[in-house]
A = this chain, B = another copy of it.
Amino acid sequence: MSDDQRYGLARHAILPGPLALDGGGTLLPVEIAYETYGTLNADRGNAILICHALTGDHHVASTHPITGKPGWWSRMVGPGKPIDPARHFIVCANVIGSCMGSSGPASINALSGAPYAMRFPVITIRDMVRAQAMLLDHLGVSVLEAVVGGSMGGMQALQWAATYPDRVRAALIIASAARHSAQNIAFHEVGRQAIMADPNWAGGNYYGAKPPAAGLAVARMAAHITYLSEAGLTEKFGRRLQGRDAKSFGFDADFQVESYLRHQGISFVDRFDANSYLYITRAMDYLDIAEEHGGLLANAFRGTRTRFCLVSFDTDWLYPTRESRAIVQALNAAGAQGSFVELSSPYGHDAFLLDVPELNRVADGFLRAGVA
């Protein structure tokens, strides 16, 4: 394991598979790009798996290779942070379906020698989790000290606890949900339709040609609104104009919020694959952990010994507090050990990625409570 033990080591595993998928197909081999931080203890009991969100990646606390920005959760992961390589063996893997090195629609299909494109199998959050379990097998980690994630990362963390209860001692689920609501699905469908309406999408066969950048940018813009609170947008931008004193009476970005959104859309296409956006949003829409357990979420957690901590943000309207509360109620009904805190933040859903000291205190307390 020596080469896994260096700080922030980017790795790439080609696991033989086959990985049986919820949709009925199989994936083989299963490629997973991941990073590890810290050292696995002799008893192999200090591993923490971090699960990323829709457009996230495994660069949780290392510089992003395309954007040059700090890792997406440097506030949570690092020396002196709640998830600390000095104490934990930290694993963060790019989900399958994504485009940062794990198997996804942009990957070369070994059988055909060409990119999968839309021939990549439709996957689920549970499939992502199964692939992560294969990676942990490969790394010699049988039981996780904790699985941690926000947004889609929280969905994976919850799915981990439901699918592999004996492999998860603790699950920290932030700004997330156990299923996608009709409104969640609706926003994703807008994004998918924006991508598929772009002629450059070409049925997904755009690799080696122009990608559907305009469609993907629109998808990102629509999604980005859902990541922010109305009050946060008002505070950040209000009706302030962009670099001029008066309205232009035209269709350029007059308001700062327009300019900001356009930038979010345009910069996203440099780092993300449109087909991956289709596949991962589909996986999220398919999530309904209760459905996998006879329609009752509590059934997913009966008899579990996993400790749970749920965190929501009061201004998050994408995965609002009631979604976390529903999970906690199911955990209670199942007799599982679960705590819940709603944090106050003006930033909406994005708060889990931002500087919210209270979130770090909650995470630190929860993770330390499990260590004898």
Contacts and interface: CB of A to CB of B under 8 A. Distances in A.
A342 interface: no
A118 B251 CA distance: 9
A285 B251 CA distance: 11
The 6 closest A-B pairs by CB, nearest first: A23-B249, A197-B214, A182-B233, A122-B249, A182-B257, A189-B258
A18 to B, nearest CB: 17
A186 interface: yes
B218 A194 contact: yes
A38 to B, nearest CB: 37
A186 B232 CA distance: 13
A219 B194 CA distance: 9
Contacts of A247: 23, 286
Interface stretch (A78-86, A235-243, A362-370): A235-243
A204 to B, nearest CB: 9
Contacts of A181: 230, 233-234, 239
B197 A215 contact: yes
B186 A233 contact: yes
Contact of A221 (B193, B234, B254): B193
Q: Give the dominant DSSP class at A's interface.
A: helix
Copies in the complex: 2
Contacts of A197: 194, 198, 214-215, 217-218
Interface string A338-367: 000000000000000000000000000000
13 contacts: A23-B247, A182-B233, A182-B237, A182-B238, A183-B225, A183-B230, A186-B221, A186-B233, A193-B218, A197-B214, A222-B222, A247-B286, A255-B285
The size class of the interface chain A forms with chain B is 35 or more
B23 A186 contact: no
Contacts of A51: none
A218 B239 contact: no
Contacts of A214: 197
Nearest to A288: B239
A265 interface: yes
Contacts of A194: 194, 197, 218
A64 interface: no
A225 B186 contact: yes
| Most interface-central of A24, A222, A286 (chain B CB within 10 A) | A222
A199 B201 CA distance: 13
